[in-house]
Structure formats: structure tokens, C-alpha cells
A = this chain, B = another copy of it.
């Protein structure tokens, strides 16, 4: 004897989510069945709508509901300035800063040959063509500082230099307004190495 089959199917389906094991999946199924049927239906609708309706922007690879995302379509954004990020969440972080008026290229990952993620999987062949096209003035690197992030940054640097496009990288250092005691050693070392004249 097990749960009612529909309950077991729901528990099993939840375990496809990252970080969800059999126990959390059971807890999720019970919560929706016991006091959240309407929420459960809404989640079901949202899943179908997103799985069927979300594609990738043909220009920047970010999530989009049309061929181009709103940022790539906007005439207000400088299309000669491209910021390279790993994920849609990074785009969100830049947009929330309100300081950036260029466009993006979203890799949807980082180079990781052992996992089968090479330049093609990140759309870097497409980026290379655009760099060769001559419309891009500056490429800003904002990939992570892990081994994969560094490898990705260097690959992008290579193809940009081949195309004669200027490459910059966002500054690494201590966060604004933070106490130094909460900053990790590697960040502090980098901040020290990249120190600049002050009080000129």
C-alpha cells in the first residue's frame, strides 16, 4: 500500500526540482493538498505558461516572451556597450542598480568542459560574429570569479581582442557600506592589490 497514486505522482514530480528530496517533496504535496489547492492550481498554470511561453532573446539570450527581450528592443539602450553576465539574475541585479544603460549578453552558464559546456553552449560563437560585425564599442565583463568564471572571462577577452573591441571588467573590491569584518580574505586581498590614489 502506498499513497493514493495521484499523491505519489505529485511527490515524485516535485523531486525533479533542485534541492528537493523525497521528504521535502512529500511536505510540499501535503501542504498543497491540505490547505493550498488553489495555490497548487496556480503553480500548475504558471508552470505550463512558462514552459510553453518563455524562449530566449535572439540577441542577448536572456529569457524573453518574444524574439527580442524588452532591453534589446528599447531604443533608449546603448547597443554599442555590452555587459557579459552568466545568468538572468545578474541582469536583474544590474537593472536594479539603475546605473547601466547599455545592453547585455547572457551566457546562461559558464565554461565547464567537463560538464560538456563549451563556447557553443554559451552562444559565444554568436557573440564572436557580433563582435566581428563592428557595432560593439566596449564589452564589460561581469562573470563570476570562480575558476569557471575566470576561464569564461578569458575566452571572451580573446575573441573581443581578435575583433579589436575594447574589454573592461567590473571592479572587484569591498562592498560599499559594509563592515570590513564581514569581507572574506580573497576579496580583501584583491581590494588591496587594486588600491587607487585617494585625496588628489
Chain A contacts to B: CB under 8 angstroms: 1-7, 9-10, 12-14, 16-20, 24, 26-34, 36-37, 39-54, 62-65, 69-71, 87-89, 91-92, 95, 108-109
Give bound CA distance, A149 to B4, whole Å: 25
Chain B residues with CB under 8 Å of A26's CB are 89
CB distance from A5 to the nearest CB of B (A): 7
Chain B residues with CB under 8 Å of A10's CB are 46-47, 49-50
Chain B residues with CB under 8 Å of A34's CB are 108-109
Give bound CA distance, A108 to B35, whole Å: 11
Q: How many copies does the complex hold?
A: 2
Taking each of A12, A36, A88, which has the highest tally of chain B beta carbons within 10 Å of its own beta carbon?
Answer: A88
Chain B residues with CB under 8 Å of A24's CB are 18-19
Chain B residues with CB under 8 Å of A5's CB are 65
The 3 tightest CB contacts between A and B, nearest first, are: A44-B47, A13-B46, A16-B39
B43–A14 touching, CB < 8 Å? yes
Q: A16-B36, A108-B34 are in contact. Are A7 and B54 (CB under 8 A)?
A: yes
Give bound CA distance, A31 to B13, whole Å: 14
Q: A17-B28, A24-B19 are in contact. Are A88 and B3 (CB under 8 A)?
A: yes
B43–A13 touching, CB < 8 Å? yes
Candidates B28, B51, B91; contact of A37 at CB < 8 Å? B51
B47–A43 touching, CB < 8 Å? yes
Give bound CA distance, A30 to B48, whole Å: 14
Q: A32-B51, A40-B47, A47-B40 are in contact. Are A65 and B6 (CB under 8 A)?
A: yes
B17–A54 touching, CB < 8 Å? no
Give bound CA distance, A27 to B69, whole Å: 21
Candidates B18, B33, B36, B43; contact of A63 at CB < 8 Å? B33
